[in-house]
Structure 1
Amino acid sequence: MNIGEAARLSGLSAKMIRHYEQIKLLKPAVRSEAGYRQYDAQNITVLKFIRQARVLGFSIAQIDELLSLWQDPARSSRAVKQVAQQHLAAVEHKMQELAAMQATLQNMISACSGDEDSHCAILEQLSQQSEA
């Protein structure tokens, strides 16, 4: 199948498929005599794997590692779990940072009267924080 069909079946854009080939996350596609990329069912399976891993926020390096583990029948599940645990720890850290950002923004918004007065508690707090 051509790249358009591969994109449709995998849920990725043709541009992303070409990108994944370029960065060697996906093996280069077989080319037709006319030079068009040709994909098979195995390629689609790999593309779907990559897409799902990206949806979960895994980095390209982590996806590369997971693909290697997935394609290695001698792998241990411990190695796969370790990659997922490291990613989860990063996600949890990011969630804590986002929660702190949310609380700060809520406090700033609550402190702002939001009326016609030129005094703005949000701008005041931002300027104080930038001086720290």
Structure 2
Amino acid sequence: MRIGEVARLSGCSPETIRHYEKLGLLETPLRSTSGYRRYDVAAVDRLGFIRHGRELGLDLRAIGELLALADHPDADCRAVDRIASRHLERIEARIASLQQLAEELRAMVTQCRGGRVAECRIIEALFRRGTEIQSPE
């Protein structure tokens, strides 16, 4: 298959596919006599793996580690568990942070009931919060 077909099947753009090749996440394919990259079904599967990992929020480093482990199917999967657990911890921390942000925004919204911007509690709270951030020394 040529890169356009692989892009269509995998949902990745040709530029993304070439980027993954440069990063070593996807093997550099053989080229046809006319110089076109020629991919096999395994490349489409691998791109699907990468794409799904990205949808789950995994960074390319973690995806690379998982792909390296997947290339050795008889190896112990504890490393896979560690990568997934580490990512889950980050997601849960992000969720907690977002919940705290939602509470802060909810409090600001309930304090604002129209009127002039000069008297807006949301604007006031944002300015107050901004001054709490310390500038680098």
Normalised by the length of structure 2, the TM-score is 0.90
Partner of 1:93: 93
Q: Distance in 2 between matches of 1:57 and 1:23?
A: 18
Identical-residue share of aligned pairs (%):
40
1:48-105 C-alpha deviation (Å, 9 max, x unpaired): 1111111111110000000000011332121111110010001100111111111111
Matching residue's letter, 1:14: P
2:114 is the alignment partner of 1:114: yes
Q: Distance in 2 between matches of 1:30 and 1:114?
A: 64
Partner of 2:35: 35
Structure 1 residues 16 and 117: CA distance shift in structure 2, 3 A: closer
**What are the ranges of 5 or more consecutive residues in structure 2 without an aligned counterpart?**
133-137
2:66 is the alignment partner of 1:58: no
Secondary structure at the residue paired with 2:118? coil
Following TM superposition, the consecutive aligned residue runs of length 4 or more in structure 1 with deviations greater than 6 angstroms are none
Partner of 1:75: 75
**What are the ranges of 5 or more consecutive residues in structure 1 without an aligned counterpart?**
none
Q: Distance in 2 between matches of 1:21 and 1:79?
A: 24
RMSD of aligned Cα (Å):
1.3
Normalised by the length of structure 1, the TM-score is 0.93
Q: 2:117·2:123 contact (CA, 8 Å) conserved in 1? A: no
Q: Distance in 2 between matches of 1:8 and 1:115?
A: 52
Secondary structure at the residue paired with 1:26? coil
Partner of 2:49: 49
Partner of 1:5: 5
Structure 1 residues 43 and 115: CA distance shift in structure 2, 3 A: same
Aligned length: 132
TM-superposed CA distance for 1:34, in Å, is 2.2
Structure 1 residues 117 and 21: CA distance shift in structure 2, 3 A: closer
Partner of 2:104: 104
Q: 2:26·2:46 contact (CA, 8 Å) conserved in 1? A: yes
TM-superposed CA distance for 1:116, in Å, is 4.3
Structure 1 residues 45 and 117: CA distance shift in structure 2, 3 A: closer
